[in-house]
Structure 1
Amino acid sequence: MIKSLSIQNYALIDKIEIEFHHGFSVITGETGAGKSILLGALGLILGNRADLNIRKDKSKKCVVEGEFLLDKIDLEHFFSENDLDYDQMVILRREINSSGKSRAFINDTPVNLNLLKELGEQLVNIHSQHQTLNLGKFEFQLNVLDAFINNPVLLEEYQNMYRAFRKAEKKLQYLISRNQRLKTDEDYIRFQLSEFESVKLEKQAFEHLVDREQLLSHSEEIASGIMQCRELLDEGDTNAVQLLREVVHVMNKLSGYHTPIKSLAERLESVEIELSDISSEIAALSNETEFNPGELAEIKNKLDKYYHLQQKH
């Protein structure tokens, strides 16, 4: 039952506090006395939508607070399910501040309007003559049935079993949802793995492909340079290997006359051998630089996949 109602800055009311006692209470008055205003204020703490213009003084907040005794109604499960502090005396409060923002509280805990309305519907019935709206509500019918059976032991046993069932149902839904998320994650990871396996590039293989791609992309420029080097080294009419060979021949003839000349001749012979080897290796490069458009396209495709995965992951 409702024990008290406190109203501040609502409609025509500056401040009023009403105490309700056990039994039947009647508020009477002629038309315009303010009976509907009291019901409107009560409706605020029962979860009704607020008219932001209802504040008497627009510079101050409107506060409506009601105390309800829960000695004849079992709502402990409601408070437990919604993580609210339970006590047989529950306080509902609604505030509308000077900016028009509305806030709702149950036992000083901020709640949303839907939760306040859900609790309010179980505490108070507001109806007019000939209205029987509650008769069609499942919760009301259930309360009437429980009151008719009048077996609190059986009711408590059923409620405990029902709460255990709801808890198990929530756990099952959580596990089903979690399993679906894990399956989705597994599918995505397998997809990523297949992407990586489609590339299969070790570090050395990747470096080789990069080098090969550079070689094939610039094969014409490289081939031209190699040809020029071969001409200068040993294929031209006047080439470095031939000139060096003649120098070595002259130095060898003079080496018997002076010891340092012999040493220089030996060094020149080593240079000639090294230069000849270099010339041969440069000639061998000619075969590697032959342009192959099919191979180049395949390498570029592999590298593109690798770079895409590298950027993606």
Structure 2
Amino acid sequence: MLTHLKIKNFALIEELEASFSSGMTCITGETGAGKSILLGGLSLVLGKRADLSSLFNPTQKCVVEASFNICSYALRPLFEDLDLDYEEETVVRREILPQGKSRAFVNDTPVTLAALEELSRYLIDIHSQNDTATLLESDYQFQVLDALAKNQKPLSDYQHTLSEYKAVKKSYQQLKLDSEKAKASASLDDFLYQELLKLNLKEGLQEDLESRHNALIHVDFLQSNLAESIQLMDSESLGLVDQLLRLRSLASGLAQKSGQFSTLYERFSALFVEA
């Protein structure tokens, strides 16, 4: 139920406050008295589109604030869904700045216009003389029947149970997804394990592969040193000690790049010592 309405700097209203008690309240007046402006301000606070032309003073912001007593509306689940603080005396405020920006608050918490419009559907009904189409809407008919039957508590219990069910269902779906991911990961791990078994890995294989890899990446260097070594050994020139020294140097470079030339280096070293 609307209990209080405050309008500032809207249309022809510089500032106005009105309080409403339980029962029926009638506002009367001749044409142009401002009855429609009150409804316009109320519509604004309920999420309707703002217009700068409706500001009484275009240099100041427009503020419309409405208070609602919602203790019997069973709206706590809706507030939780919209991530809003629930209070039995809920205050909705709308501000229109001179720059054209619009802000909305529910119990001092900023909200989007979409959330405000969703909430406003349950706070108040505004009817015109031609506004009879609502009577044909099934949602509205159920609301009337529930109100007449005083179904607030069963509805609240149902909404609470439904909320718990959705939370459990979401948790179950997450667990199911995690289980599927774990199965896929286990399947991949098993496949990789079987592939490793097929390779028949042995101790020392990694060192051997690294040695071969090192030889391959220095293949140009190895070819050059081997070619020069062969040329020296085939040469008929004198100076055997110098040639052995050069051969030992070349073999040392070969052995550093690939372990398979270590024996060759040792032999050249022994020959050099004997010479």
Q: How does the TM-score come out when normalised to structure 2?
A: 0.72
Aligned CA-pair RMSD = 4.0
Q: What residue in structure 2 maps to residue 31 of structure 1?
A: 31
Q: What residue in structure 1 maps to residue 129 of structure 2?
A: 129
Alignment of 1:37-48 (within 5 A): 37-48=37-48
Q: What residue in structure 2 maps to residue 108 of structure 1?
A: 108
Alignment of 1:180-199 (within 5 A): 180=177, 183=180, 187=184
Q: Give the drift of 1:47.
A: 1.7
Q: Give the drift of 1:23.
A: 2.1
The 1:174–1:214 alpha-carbon spacing in structure 2 relative to 1, beyond 3 Å, is same
Q: Percent identity?
A: 33
Q: What residue in structure 1 maps to residue 73 of structure 2?
A: 73
Q: Give the drift of 1:110.
A: 1.5
Is 2:168 aligned against 1:165? Answer: no
The 1:3–1:162 alpha-carbon spacing in structure 2 relative to 1, beyond 3 Å, is closer
Q: Is the 8 A contact 1:230 1:279 kept in 2?
A: no
Q: What residue in structure 2 maps to residue 300 of structure 1?
A: none
Structure 1 Cα separation of the partners of residues 189 and 58 of structure 2: 60
Q: Is the 8 A contact 2:7 2:65 kept in 1?
A: yes
Q: What residue in structure 1 maps to residue 214 of structure 2?
A: 211
Deviation per CA, 1:47-102: give whole Å up to 9, x if none.
Answer: 22222443233332211000112244332332344343333211111112233221
The 1:279–1:132 alpha-carbon spacing in structure 2 relative to 1, beyond 3 Å, is closer
Q: Is the 8 A contact 2:65 2:93 kept in 1?
A: yes
Question: Aligned partner of 1:215: which letter?
Answer: H
Q: What residue in structure 2 maps to residue 249 of structure 1?
A: none
1:224 to 205, 216, 227: 227
The 1:206–1:104 alpha-carbon spacing in structure 2 relative to 1, beyond 3 Å, is farther
Q: Is the 8 A contact 2:47 2:120 kept in 1?
A: yes
Q: Give the drift of 1:30.
A: 3.2
Q: Give the drift of 1:230.
A: 3.2
Q: Is the 8 A contact 2:94 2:105 kept in 1?
A: yes
Bigger Rg, which one: 1
Q: Give the drift of 1:21.
A: 2.7
Q: What residue in structure 2 maps to residue 298 of structure 1?
A: none
Question: Aligned partner of 1:173: which letter?
Answer: K
Runs of 5+ unmatched residues, structure 1: 245-271, 290-313
SS at match of 1:22: coil
Q: Give the drift of 1:42.
A: 0.5
Question: Aligned partner of 2:167: which letter?
Answer: K
Q: What residue in structure 1 maps to residue 153 of structure 2?
A: 156
Q: Is the 8 A contact 2:10 2:54 kept in 1?
A: yes
Q: Which moved more, 1:3-12 or 1:208-217?
A: 208-217
The 1:188–1:32 alpha-carbon spacing in structure 2 relative to 1, beyond 3 Å, is farther
Structure 2 Cα separation of the partners of residues 130 and 280 of structure 1: 105
Q: Give the drift of 1:281.
A: 6.0
Q: Which moved more, 1:109-118 or 1:68-77?
A: 68-77
Deviation per CA, 1:106-153: give whole Å up to 9, x if none.
Answer: 111222222211221111111211322332444422222223334x5x
Q: Give the drift of 1:277.
A: 9.4
Q: Which moved more, 1:190-199 or 1:127-136?
A: 190-199
The 1:214–1:135 alpha-carbon spacing in structure 2 relative to 1, beyond 3 Å, is same
Structure 2 Cα separation of the partners of residues 28 and 134 of structure 1: 25
Q: Give the drift of 1:43.
A: 0.8
Structure 1 Cα separation of the partners of residues 90 and 80 of structure 2: 14
Q: What residue in structure 2 maps to residue 310 of structure 1?
A: none
Q: What residue in structure 1 maps to residue 94 of structure 2?
A: 94
SS at match of 2:144: helix
The 1:229–1:136 alpha-carbon spacing in structure 2 relative to 1, beyond 3 Å, is farther
Deviation per CA, 1:251-278: give whole Å up to 9, x if none.
Answer: xxxxxxxxxxxxxxxxxxxxx8xx6994
Aligned residues: 250
Q: How does the TM-score come out when normalised to structure 1?
A: 0.64
Question: Aligned partner of 1:214: which letter?
Answer: I
The 1:276–1:178 alpha-carbon spacing in structure 2 relative to 1, beyond 3 Å, is same
